[in-house]
């Protein structure tokens, strides 16, 4: 098992290097930081623009390979270069990382728990109407873009608040500036701001997990050990939870791990709609401004997150499935 994990980790590190290299090369070819600098008011002199781009390592007159090698050597030392604003990209990333991780962690935990519960209900076959409603709901969520879900959540929250006559939900922002009260009140206020964006992220994850877990449970429900448990007196639901779930969840674990990591992309739209100043908002703004180093730094983080998700998936599968330990 240890040898397989080491080999898998080495392969992931290689894929990580390839992924971040391609991300930088694509950003360097597609984005135009020179246009962003020339569009400022008052426009800087050409010599200033040229010196600024050279300092950033983003001068389009420098060969692409030279720019890439300079950037890659900096990344190897932990230096992701400077943003167009003159801020170290690694410092800006650290400042925004806590915001995104707080949102992603809450969304992943809620999405996985909700998806597992809906998958069990759908697979038990006891509640036909509930199963059909879950099927329709999950397909609807999967068909709707994340940004539409975020806007719909805001509209629904505003309608509920208008009916209730008080503000139950926080529609934008991470917190309310200048909110009076003690630490517990401020903590509760942050939780109120977390509700809508967390639900937006969790719904997509829950829809995917519930669909795959339901199918996996139905395939496992016909196994001999499940039929034997039912014959000994267990209800179908108890037999599924006690005996079939551990087997059925094995193929769902990698899906959950990689799906959780890929939520970072969906969180970009969610952060922008709800005005959360995290990594996703930084990516969208950086693409708009043509900030090559910022986009490359974000892609490095996303690729590393996906690599760690794969490692955690392998460890979880090895714990659940003895056959994977060989």
Q: What are phi and psi of 278, to 5 degrees?
A: -110, -160
Q: Are residues 105 and 69 in the same domain?
A: no
Q: Are residues 71 and 104 in the same domain?
A: no
Q: Are residues 125 and 69 in the same domain?
A: no
Is 82 strand, coil or helix? strand
Residue 86 belongs to some domain of the structure: no
Over residues 156-184, the mean pLDDT reads 76
Higher pLDDT, 273 or 184: 273
**What is the per-residue pLDDT across 255-305, written as a single tens digit (0 to 9) for each?**
888 888 878 777 888 888 888 888 988 999 999 999 999 999 999 888 888
Q: Are residues 244 and 142 in the same domain?
A: yes
Residue 90 belongs to some domain of the structure: no
Q: What are phi and psi of 88, to 5 degrees?
A: -55, 130
pLDDT reported for residue 178: 63
Exposure of 104 by Cβ count < 10 A (0-12 exposed, 13-18 middle, 19+ buried)?
A: buried
Residue 282 belongs to some domain of the structure: yes
Q: SS3 letters for 176-241?
A: CCCCCCCHHHHHHHHHHHHHHHHHHHHHHHHHHHHHHHHHHHHHHHCCHHHHHHHHCCCCHHHHHH
Residue 82 belongs to some domain of the structure: no
Residue 295 belongs to some domain of the structure: no
Average pLDDT, the chain: 83
Residue 298 belongs to some domain of the structure: no
Q: Are residues 178 and 268 in the same domain?
A: yes
pTM of the model: 0.81
Domain that holds residue 268: 97-289
Is the per-residue pLDDT at 309 higher than 60? yes
**Please, which residues bridge with residue 82 across strands?**
88
Q: Are residues 208 and 264 in the same domain?
A: yes
Q: Are residues 199 and 135 in the same domain?
A: yes
Picking from 76, 109, 140, the residue at the C-terminal end of a domain is 76
Higher pLDDT, 322 or 90: 90
Collect all residues with Cβ–Cβ distance below 8 Å to 289 and sequence separation of at least 6.
33, 36, 84
Q: Are residues 62 and 103 in the same domain?
A: no
Q: Are residues 21 and 53 in the same domain?
A: yes
Over residues 51-74, the mean pLDDT reads 90
Q: Are residues 111 and 218 in the same domain?
A: yes
Is the per-residue pLDDT at 319 higher than 70? yes
Is the per-residue pLDDT at 132 higher than 80? yes
Q: Are residues 101 and 67 in the same domain?
A: no
Q: For residue 213, give the CATH number of its domain.
A: 1.10.3720
Domain count within the chain: 2
Q: Is the dihedral of CA 35, 36, 41, 45 positive or negative?
A: negative
Q: Are residues 230 and 279 in the same domain?
A: yes
Would you tell me the crossing angle of helices 252-274 and 146-164 to the nearest 10 degrees? Answer: 60
Residue 135 belongs to some domain of the structure: yes
Exposure pattern of 179-215 as b/e (b: 16+ CB <10 Å)?
eeeeeeeeeebbeebbebbbbbbbbbbbbbbbbbbbb
Residue 315 belongs to some domain of the structure: no
Cα separation of 216 and 50, whole Å?
58
């Amino acid at each position: 098992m240890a040898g397989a994990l080491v080999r898998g980790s080495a392969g992931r590190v290689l894929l990580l290097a390839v992924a971040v290299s391609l991300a930088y090369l694509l950003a360097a070819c597609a984005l135009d930081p020179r246009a962003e600098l020339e569009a400022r008011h008052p426009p800087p002199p050409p010599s200033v623009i040229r010196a600024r781009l050279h300092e950033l390592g983003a001068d389009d007159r420098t060969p692409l390979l030279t720019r890439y090698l300079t950037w890659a050597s900096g990344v190897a030392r932990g230096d992701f270069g400077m943003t167009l604003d003159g801020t170290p990209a690694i410092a800006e990333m650290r400042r925004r990382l806590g915001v995104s991780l707080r949102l992603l962690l809450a969304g992943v935990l809620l999405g996985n728990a909700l998806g597992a519960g809906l998958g069990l209900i759908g697979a038990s076959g006891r509640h036909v109407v509930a199963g059909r409603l879950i099927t329709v709901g999950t397909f609807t969520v999967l068909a709707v873009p994340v940004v539409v879900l975020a806007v719909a959540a805001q509209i629904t929250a505003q309608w509920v608040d208008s009916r209730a006559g008080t503000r139950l939900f926080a529609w934008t922002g991470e917190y309310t500036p200048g909110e009076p009260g003690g630490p517990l009140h401020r903590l509760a206020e942050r939780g109120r701001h977390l509700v809508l964006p967390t639900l937006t992220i969790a719904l997509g994850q829950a829809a995917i997990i519930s669909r795959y877990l339901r199918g996996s449970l139905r395939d496992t429900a016909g196994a001999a050990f499940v039929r034997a448990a039912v014959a000994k007196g267990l209800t179908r639901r108890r037999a599924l939870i006690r005996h079939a779930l551990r087997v059925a969840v094995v193929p769902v674990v990698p899906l959950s791990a990689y799906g959780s990591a890929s939520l970072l992309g969906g969180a970009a739209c969610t952060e922008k709609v709800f005005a959360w100043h995290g990594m996703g908002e930084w990516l969208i703004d950086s693409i708009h401004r043509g900030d090559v180093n910022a986009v490359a730094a974000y892609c490095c983080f996303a690729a590393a997150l996906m690599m760690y998700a794969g490692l955690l998936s392998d460890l979880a599968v090895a714990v659940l499935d003895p056959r994977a330990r060989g």
